[in-house]
Amino acid sequence: MTQSVFRAQLLTFTGDPAQSPDAAQFHEDGVVIVEDGQVAASGAWSALKERVSDGAQVHDMRDKLIVPGFIDTHIHYPQTDMIASPAPGLLPWLDTYTFPTERGFENEAIAQDTAQFFVDELLKSGTTTALVYCTVHKQSADALFTASEAKNLRMVAGKVLMDRHCPEFLRDTPQTGYDDSAELIGRWHNKGRQMYALTPRFAPTSTEAQLEACEALAKAHGDIFIQSHVAENLDEVKWVKELFPRQRSYLDVYDRYGLLRRRAVYGHCIWLDDEDRQRMAETGAVAAHCPTSNLFLGSGLFDFDKANESQMPVTLATDVGGGTSFSMLQTMNEAHKVARMGGHHLTATRMFWLATAGAAQALDLADKIGTLAPQSEADFVVLDPKATPLLARRTARAESLEELLFAFALLGDDRAVFETYAAGARVHSRESA
Ligand code: GUN
Ligand code: ZN
């Protein structure tokens, strides 16, 4: 059996570092041994060097840090080219930039070209798994899955469902949305490493009939993902109240249609109340906190203390193109500051967990990704502490793992990503990019 062997500093997790001080496992001189695209073993070099086969090539990266591949739990690939488009808040931003841009994805060539660039941009940032919104056009989802499959990435994506309150040219119907989603589930869900996410954009753009169609699809396919937006912006919350006067809250609309469960991931979750958070925790639905987007669009500040109290699952996400960076390191940077604004100290160690093992656990994928544990799919990132002169000077003074990770989170971006591996294969190299 061919082995690939990576000798480096290593970080992996056995649990949430906020719950248990030993959950972050760091090896100053560590090794990851990969066989058949999976981690065969990882840990201290001194303990594992005997497992290295004769003749196996050992990649010596002792000046670098290997961490599990980053997981971005909420991102829109069709918004790649409109990232950094200025608008006074969410709803005008959707009308002015987002919907016109998404119209282009009826054209297969645009979808394919953007999907390829998008996937490369993820890998350049060290993101090996993402939950991706496509457009309303089913060919946009085919383009994304095709680009991801070509690199053998574990990717979750879905065609957007929208049958009202958007331009005519982006509308499906309850029936076509159902049929297209069912067809895409059949074609892509669990095909290799691809997985499907049922994707009603948000409550305002779906009729009750469309939400009922979602309920039926979710029931028929218990292991698919569900993704949507909730409680992002106060104008949006007010609008949902007018559209669904019988529901107790915005989140309750999704609850009403059976869309709160494990593997259901809701972007933003800023304006939830305690009862909503309780429901998220009870059902296992996951919050995707998108700090760069929330600050950029002025949506609000995610409440880490309330999230922790309720024990609802929380993950980190970029929300490109509402988000302003593909980098999960930059996302950590802003997550830390959002938490600070709420008087909460979010450690870098916990942010690395949230972006890797914590996300995998929340998404019910912990047996496959998120750590360097044996039998995991070998998705990992090689980070360079000397990526920039400033990072080199700061990391040289780091006196603890937390300080090292904090420097990466606050100062790092795609320049800090030396290489990215998916299922044991190198899918990005900074030097040859
Ligand atoms: N709410 C509905 N659609 C979107 C979107 O594309 N981005 C963000 N940030 N929020 C949304
Ligand atoms: Zn979004």
* Residue 432 in this model has a pLDDT that exceeds 90: no
User: Ligand nearest 227 Cα, by number?
Assistant: 2
Q: How many angstroms separate the CA atoms of 370 and 355, rounded? A: 8
Q: 3-68+371-432 has which CATH code? A: 2.30.40.10
Question: Range(s) for CATH 2.30.40.10 in the chain?
Answer: 3-68+371-432
Measured in Å, residue 145 CA sits from the centre of ligand 2 at: 19
Atom of ligand 1 nearest to the CA of 319: 9
Ligand 1 within 6 A of CB of 229: yes
* Residue 1 in this model has a pLDDT that exceeds 80: no
Ligand 1 within 6 A of CB of 151: no
Q: What is the pLDDT of residues 157-180, one digit of tens each?
A: 999 999 999 999 999 999 999 999
Can you name the CATH fold of 70-346? TIM Barrel (3.20.20)
Measured in Å, residue 86 CA sits from the centre of ligand 2 at: 16
Residues 172, 136: contact at Cβ < 8 Å? yes
Local confidence band at 433 (pLDDT 50, 70, 90 cut-offs): confident
**HSE value, Cβ hemisphere, 13 Å, CA-based, for 249:** 19
* Residue 14 in this model has a pLDDT that exceeds 80: yes
Measured in Å, residue 356 CA sits from the centre of ligand 2 at: 20
Measured in Å, residue 75 CA sits from the centre of ligand 2 at: 6
Q: What is the pLDDT of residues 332-373, one digit of tens each?
A: 999 999 999 999 999 999 999 999 999 999 999 999 999 999
Q: What is the pLDDT of residues 57-73, one digit of tens each?
A: 899 999 999 999 999 99
Local confidence band at 208 (pLDDT 50, 70, 90 cut-offs): very high
pTM confidence score: 0.99
Q: What is the pLDDT of residues 92-101, one digit of tens each?
A: 999 999 999 9
| 111-to-85, 105, 107, 194, 281 alpha-carbon distances in Å | 20, 5, 6, 18, 36
Q: How many angstroms separate the CA atoms of 250 and 429, rounded? A: 43
Ligand 1 within 6 A of CB of 204: no
Question: Range(s) for CATH 3.20.20.140 in the chain?
Answer: 70-346
CA nearest ligand 1 atom 11, residue: 229
Measured in Å, residue 319 CA sits from the centre of ligand 1 at: 8
